[in-house]
Amino acid sequence: MQNLTILGSTGSIGTSTLDVVSRHPERFQVFALTAYRQVALLFKQCIQFKPRYAVLLDEDASQQLRALLRDAGLTTEVLTGVAALEQVCVAPEVDSVMAAIVGAAGLRPTLAAARAGKKILLANKETLVMAGKIFMDAVRDSGSALLPIDSEHNAIFQSLPRDYNGNAAQHGVRRILLTASGGPFRNTPLADLKNVTPEQACAHPNWSMGQKISVDSASMMNKGLEVIEAHWLFNASADDIQVVVHPQSVIHSLVEYVDGSVIAQLGNPDMRTPIAYGLAFPERIASGVSSLDLFKVATLNFTPPDFERFPCLALAYQALRTAGTAPSLMNAANEIAVAAFLDRKIAFLAIPQLIDTVLNKLPIQAVTCIEDVLEADAQARVAAEKVVRTLTLC
């Protein structure tokens, strides 16, 4: 029996994880569920999975959940705050941690899980983007097992040799081909992008995701973050990671070998596939995902990314090559920019403009400890908020 802590259980990854878990009660038991402040959904999850702990970051929400659980006669203990997130990750009863909190908030608990030697199912991009070396060192030092859950990185993981150790030459790996759907604006005339609304940006053609990730997909910052993730996960340089726009989202990524072979992982665009693979690795279990109908798909298309249309992708490559705190600055500025766009404070095209301004304004420092990352994150957020106030919708 595998005891799970699910960070971000009310989000799209969290709910998909619980769907897979519910199909295999003989294999998995939920130790803790966490959310920001979605009391109603977390309460329903507690009723179904009866975790020992439920964690909310919002104090008022925590009090509401305590009252609901008490009235329902459930014994789940409600905890509050970031320290509680770390507590339910490092508890000795926990075998695996699904790291599915969106944004920089997921960094500390995920790093704590790595240092505690837990099996980590990594769906939080920012952990690697902000603190890649620190996190990967913690994984190696503790002997933690790291399974990437992003569909693209999971596909790469499946397409690499089982004993891949980060030495591409030793394993005959030439490069990584990271697929991208292109989002909802792949074919939108450039002149029309200035009028994009949050509703349009969140209407992804293939995937059902939260608002922040949907906007990142629309700007292709999501793919930029994944490029940086791939660098840390697979020890690949920026030049050895090629983004390929693949609108059907059927091929989730590919690995090219020196002998000319290209190995890919295919499947319907459903996150339960990589989640099930991560949960049961090295075994495979049913995920609830329907079989891929190749006759229905019929055609697969591939095009190079348009960096003029998607400047956020270029900014991510730039941050990866610059290294140091550059990815942290970029990530923080993007989080502020996306939030401002969703609040209709800035235009869609102002997102890369804001990020570029912050990257050019703040100094790049070396990263030697987690405090360097958190300081850069804080500085970038302050700078980005100031930039928001200077921008106007047009």
Q: Where are the domains of the chain?
A: 2-148, 156-297, 323-389
323-389 topology per CATH: Rna Polymerase Sigma Factor; Chain: A (1.10.1740)
Q: Which two tokens stand for residue 205?
A: 């053609």
- Gap between the Cα atoms of 99 and 111, Å rounded: 10
- Gap between the Cα atoms of 207 and 226, Å rounded: 16
Q: Are the C-beta atoms of 62 and 78 separated by less than 8 Å?
A: yes
Amino acid found at 279: L
Query: Mind giving me the DSSP string for 115-140?
Result: HTT-EEEE--HHHHHHHHHHHHHHHH
Q: Are the C-beta atoms of 326 and 268 separated by less than 8 Å?
A: no
pLDDT of residue 208: 57
SS3 per-residue string spanning 266-294? ECCCCCHHHHHHHHHCCCCCCCCCCCCCH
pLDDT at 394 over 50: no
**Residue 96: beta bridge partners?**
4, 119
What pairing do the DSSP bridges indicate for beta strands 96-99 and 119-122?
A: parallel
- Gap between the Cα atoms of 63 and 56, Å rounded: 9
pLDDT of residue 209: 62
pLDDT in tens, 87-133: 999 999 999 999 998 776 788 899 999 999 999 999 988 889 989 99
pLDDT of residue 5: 98
CATH among 3.30.70.2860, 3.40.50.720, 2.20.25.90, 3.10.20.30 for 2-148: 3.40.50.720
Q: Which two tokens stand for residue 361?
A: 């304004």
pLDDT of residue 346: 92
| CATH topology agreement for domains 2-148 and 323-389 | no
Phi, psi of 371 (to 5 degrees): -65, -35
pLDDT in tens, 188-205: 888 888 888 888 888 766
pLDDT of residue 392: 63
* pTM of structure: 0.90
| Cα–Cα separations (whole angstroms), residue 28 to 4, 5, 24, 280 | 7, 11, 6, 10
pLDDT at 207 over 70: no
Span 306-318, average pLDDT: 94
Mean predicted lDDT score pLDDT of the chain:
92
User: By C-alpha distance, which of 102, 95, 109, 90 is closest to 3?
Assistant: 95
pLDDT of residue 56: 94
pLDDT in tens, 26-57: 999 999 999 988 999 999 999 999 999 999 99
pLDDT band at 147 (very low <50, low <70, confident <90, very high): very high
Span 294-315, average pLDDT: 93
What pairing do the DSSP bridges indicate for beta strands 251-257 and 262-266?
A: antiparallel
Distance of CA 43 to the CA centre of its chain: 24
Q: Are the C-beta atoms of 333 and 352 separated by less than 8 Å?
A: no
